[in-house]
Amino acid sequence: MSEIDSLKAQLQELQDKALALFADAANSKVLQELRVAYLGKKGELTSVLKGVGKLPPEDRPVIGQFVNATKNALAEALDKAESMLAEKEKALRIEAERIDVTLPGRKSAQGALHPVQQGLNDMMAIFSQMGFEMAEGPEIEDEFHNFDALNIPAEHPARANHDTFFFDMEGTADTKLLRTHTSPVQIRAMQACVDAGGEPPLAVVASGRVYRCDSDVTHSPMFHQVEVFQVDKDVSLANLKGVLQHFLSAYFEKDVPIRLRPHYFPFTEPSAEVDIGCVFCNHKGCRICKGSGWIEVLGSGMIHPNVLKAVGIDSSVYSGFAFGLGVERLVMLKHGIPDLRLFFENDVRFLRRMGSSK
Applying CB under 5 A, the residues found at the interface with Zn ion are 278, 280-281, 286, 289
Nearer to Zn ion, 131 or 336 (CB): 336
Shortest spacing between CB 275 and Zn ion, in angstroms: 11
How far is the C-alpha of 229 from the C-alpha of 304, rounded, in Å?
12
Q: How far is the CB of 289 from Zn ion (least distance, A)?
A: 3
Residue 349 near residue 342, CB atoms below 8 Å: no
Measured from the CB atom, is 120 or 276 closer to Zn ion? 276
H runs (alpha helix) in 130-233: 143-146, 157-161, 183-195
Residue 81 host element (H or E): helix 60-97
Query: For residues 156 and 334, which CB has a smaller minimum distance to Zn ion in the complex?
Result: 334
Distance from the first to the final alpha carbon of the chain: 98
Half-sphere exposure of 106 (CA within 13 A, CB side): 1
Residue 179, CA distances (Å) to 135, 164, 273 in order: 15, 8, 21
Q: How far is the CB of 286 from Zn ion (least distance, A)?
A: 3
**93 versus 261: smaller Cβ distance to Zn ion:** 261
Which residue's CB atom is positioned nearest to Zn ion? Answer: 278
Residue 209 · residue 224 · CB < 8 Å: yes
3-state secondary structure of 142: strand
Q: Considering the complex, state which of residue 290 and residue 358 has its C-beta at the smaller distance from Zn ion.
A: 290
Between 116 and 276, whose beta carbon lies closer to Zn ion?
A: 276
If phi over 0 gives left and psi between -120 and 50 gives alpha, with beta otherwise, what is residue 338? alpha
Residue whose CB is less far from Zn ion, 7 or 258: 258
The least distance separating Zn ion from the CB of residue 292, rounded to whole angstroms, comes to: 8
> Among 134, 193, 205, which Cα is nearest to 313's?
193
The least distance separating Zn ion from the CB of residue 181, rounded to whole angstroms, comes to 27
Smallest gap, in angstroms, from Cβ of residue 297 to Zn ion?
13
**CB of 336: closest distance to Zn ion in angstroms?**
11
d(C-alpha 20, C-alpha 18), whole Å:
5
